[in-house]
Amino acid sequence: MNNQSAAVKSYNFSLKDRNLLTWLDYSQEEVKELLSLAKWLKKNPTSDILKGKTLGMIFEKSSTRTRVSFEAGMLQLGGHAIYLNSRDIQIGRGESIADTAKVLSSYIDAIMIRTFEHEKIQELSEHASVPVINGLCDMYHPCQALADVLTIFELKGMVKGLKVVYIGDGNNVAHSFMILCAMMGMEVVVSCPKGYEPNEEVVKKSKAIADKYGGSVVVEHDPVQAVKGADIVYTDVWASMGQEEEAKERMKVFMPYQVNDELLQYASKKVKFLHCLPAHREEEVTASVIDGPDSVVFQQAENRLHVQKAILQSVLV
């Protein structure tokens, strides 16, 4: 039996021609299947299952992990990835999103886009006849969240009932992490300064998902209260791409939310620290934490490769 048939035989699961814009469009069963496939692919990394398939990767926001993991993932599964910088294609010179979607659909088998507005990804998916994958936008970061949950599974062996705490800006990372952890039945706490809370509609939908699957979602402004008994503590940079002008002001506002050794004393003794990277040491997290024994940020980063391969295989096979 060759590698391709082994992969198909082991995981008869497909999301053929489905888009991945946000986890709100997916069920718990589908997410669990993706996680299972990611675990299998981590142990069986190469095949020719995507032989002849091409992924187009549109980047309006630069990235290390997203570009390299998607490109390497396609290569390891026998396919090919094309890097499309927005400055080098016509979408960056005024061609409509609809026209770009239709043209690319005639050349390639899937599109991954990393951009600003979520509406742009929605419009791209509406006009594309191939799967569209959200590599990141200002509202969601679904691929990162799937890697986060895979990492938590590996660390804890189970996830339902765990207390996971996200500290910092209520941004795209917080949104997708909140949605997916709620779907897995976890106790989710997002701790942020007033005025920097996650989107109200996303919180509302996440709470409804948590109620369905036996979890909970809470927004807590006090970081000490938030981390009490936490199994996982997660943070991200305080100023994301496009917010550089706010960096100085955000530094003042978010400093009480820095993840440091003092704060983690309130968490579980077996707490693990997550960060989606890149990190700014001595800002959102101290070096003693991110480089310490409870940090699993590089395991988490590696898992981006495995979950994205699972997504690619599922939407293309």
Residue 291 annotated as binding?
no
65 is in an annotated binding site: yes
Phi and psi at residue 87, in whole multiples of 5°?
-75, -15
- Tell me the CB-side half-sphere exposure of residue 119, using CA atoms within 13 A: 0
CA distance 148 to 176: 10
Has 299 been labeled as part of a binding site? Answer: no
Neighbouring residues of 7: CB distance < 8 A, sequence distance ≥ 6: 40, 41, 44, 47, 49, 313
Give residue 262's identity as a one-letter amino acid code: E
Q: Catalogue the active-site residues.
A: 114, 141, 144, 236, 276, 304
Tell whether residue 46 is among the known ligand binding residues.
no
Q: Which residues pair with 275 in a beta bridge?
A: 235
Q: What angle do CA 178, 44, 105 make, to 5 degrees?
A: 65
CB-neighbour burial class of residue 12 (10 A; exposed 0-12, middle 13-18, buried 19+): exposed
For residue 198, say whether it is annotated as part of any ligand binding site. Answer: no
Is 114 among the annotated ligand-binding positions? yes
Is 304 labelled as part of a ligand binding site? Answer: yes
Q: Is 146 annotated as a binding residue?
A: no
Q: Check the annotation: does 277 bind a ligand.
A: yes
Residue 241 marked ligand-binding: yes
CA pair distance 230, 162, nearest whole angstrom: 8
Q: Is 143 one of the annotated binding-site residues?
A: yes
Give the separation between CA 197 and CA 168, rounded to whole angstroms.
9
Say whether 63 counts as a known binding-site residue.
Answer: yes
> Other C-beta atoms within 10 Å of 72: how many?
15
Task: Determine the Cα–Cα distance for residues 140 and 114; give it in Å rounded to an integer.
Answer: 10
Do 115 and 134 contact (CB within 8 A), yes or no?
A: no
Per the listing, tokens 């006009």 go with: 127
The answer to whether 54 is a known ligand-binding residue is no
Is 144 annotated for ligand binding? Answer: yes
Q: How far apart are CA 177 and CA 135, in angstroms?
A: 14
Torsion of CA 137, 203, 36, 315, to 10 degrees: -40
The answer to the question of whether 137 is labelled as a binding residue is no
Place of tokens 């791209």: 124
Q: Are strands 163-167 and 187-191 parallel, antiparallel or unpaired?
A: parallel
- Could you list the residues known to form a binding site for L-ornithine, using ranges: 172, 236, 240-241
- Could you list the residues known to form a binding site, using ranges: 63-66, 90, 114, 141-144, 172, 236, 240-241, 276-277, 304
- Could you list the residues known to form a binding site for carbamoyl phosphate, using ranges: 63-66, 90, 114, 141-144, 276-277, 304
